[in-house]
Amino acid sequence: MRTMNLTLAALLITGAAFAQTQQPTTSTTTITTTTAVTTNRELPPAAAPAKPFTLPVVTKFDLPNGLGVRLVQYGSVPKTTVRLAIQTGNADEGPNETWLADLTGEMLQEGTTSRTAEQIARETASMGDDLNVNTGVNLVTLGGDVFSESAPRFIALLADVVEHPLFPETDLARIKQDSIRQLALQRAQPQPLASEKFYGALFPNSAYGRYFPTQAMLEGYTLDQVKSFYDRNYGAARARLYVVGRFDPAVIESAIRAGFASWKRGNSPSVPQVAPVGKRVVYLVDRPGAVQTTLYVGLPSIESTNPDYTSYLVMDALLGGTFGSRITSNIREQKGYTYSPTSQIGNRLGAGSWVEIADVTTKDTGASIHEILGEIDRIRNTPATAEELLAIQRNAAGIFVLRNSARAAIANQLAFVDVHGLGEDYLRNYVQRLYAVTPADVQHAAQQFIDPSKITIVAVGDKKVILDQLRAYGDVIE
């Protein structure tokens, strides 16, 4: 569902700033260390320069129906990642359709006009993997990582699943009940509650801000609504197929043309029209008795197509997006307010965002906000030293190269580049662009894109303990 989709979105975006590290989702973990951490410890060795990143050769062709195909020979292991990425998802849901995209993705796995769900499971298992269907905000992906000799058969099966879904009504009630249970689980956890409030505030009157459905909404979905969502949003014109690994190119191309040539073209993809709201406001979601407060501190920001995006990535990594970032050093290492804070860059089509996320000890809620805002002011007002910046650049470049050393990662990166219209040079020159960022560039990015007057603060915690602490940062809305 929607909180799970953040993980997928993380796979589709580049750089250490997009790790989307999941935070603890339970309020039962007690943090007892609130004093400064001792400084009498051996420092880790400095990071070595990252190895250069070489983008494998990408063979491209399009089918007459609009399906784009990307073939990449990679690695020596006799396996092949096959991934179909369709530009649709939660962004295409109407005002009363929250999670309908997820429901449609689940129903795709329940069989085709020629295969039962059990047959699909058995076939894919014999090929070395399962059929994985993942619904995100802007992308739905279907695929698997199979034995190389099975790749043509898997492509044929994948084409059957996406082109000829059965949508059996007998399975709809079960899937809706699963969704209702998932809704209840997420609403019992602080981070999903904070996400709902935060993105609802940043993107009101938009699918990006509609985080959770109601139980009644889920119970009321019909098979006709599922079929309608599929008919409107699934088709070759919105899709690209990525094949990465070891395979016979001629055999794979023949399988793709045989399997997907008859797929309907469908509607062209569209970018949601969003009017983000950035303003200083404080929201409180009460969780009586919580020993931690979940904080979201952030604002709408730029997209990956912005000319200053690389400087913005490095700025984020320095500010909060890496383990060695300033905010992490401050509120984790020095103050002991939290265990694992992180910042996240959101890259939804037509609507970027930046947010610092931390589960902090309840009594230190206000102090944690003070330190986060203080680090934002510092990075805006004081350039980083060359040494500090180089350490961050080496870390970010190394993570980028490491993450792109696997078949699935290459498919994900190419999908991100395609859906955002960035071009292959985005990946090919990524490491060089990281190292070209200067301290002045970092400061400029912070000044331009992290405006303290536009920051929204969400706190999910024990009202009786944190309300007065929050009032120091603005009028509190419950």
For residues 163 and 6, the model is more confident at 163
What pLDDT, in 10s, does the model give residues 357-372?
999 999 999 999 999 9
Mean per-residue pLDDT over the chain, rounded: 90
Report residue 80: phi and psi, to 5°: -140, 130
What pLDDT, in 10s, does the model give residues 282-328?
999 999 999 999 999 999 999 999 999 999 999 999 999 999 999 99
252: nearest Cα among 165, 119, 158: 158
What pLDDT was estimated at residue 42? 60
471: DSSP letter: G
Report residue 327: phi and psi, to 5°: -65, -40
What pLDDT was estimated at residue 44? 58
What pLDDT was estimated at residue 402? 87
Is 13 a residue whose pLDDT tops 90?
A: no
What pLDDT was estimated at residue 424? 77
With cut-offs at 50, 70 and 90, classify the pLDDT of residue 43: low
What pLDDT, in 10s, does the model give residues 148-187?
999 999 999 999 999 999 999 999 999 999 999 999 999 9
What pLDDT was estimated at residue 170? 93
What pLDDT, in 10s, does the model give residues 168-179?
999 999 999 999
Give the C-alpha separation, 263 to 259, whole Å.
8
Average pLDDT over residues 103-120: 97
What pLDDT was estimated at residue 404? 87
Average pLDDT over residues 207-213: 97
Which of 16-30, 42-56, 185-199, 246-260 has the weakest average pLDDT?
Answer: 16-30
Which of 39-48, 129-138, 152-161, 296-305 has the weakest average pLDDT?
Answer: 39-48
What pLDDT was estimated at residue 11? 36
Name the strand (E) or helix (H) holding 432: helix 430-436
Query: DSSP assignment of 389-401, as one string?
Result: HHHHHHHHHHHHH
312: nearest Cα among 9, 8, 17: 17
Task: Tell me which amino acid residue 24 is.
Answer: P
461: nearest Cα among 375, 358, 392, 370: 358
Copy the structure tokens of residue 177.
């009940």
Average pLDDT over residues 19-26: 32
443: nearest Cα among 389, 370, 397: 389
Is 12 a residue whose pLDDT tops 80?
A: no
Helix (H, G, I), strand (E, B) or coil at 184: helix
What pLDDT was estimated at residue 423? 87
What pLDDT was estimated at residue 16? 35
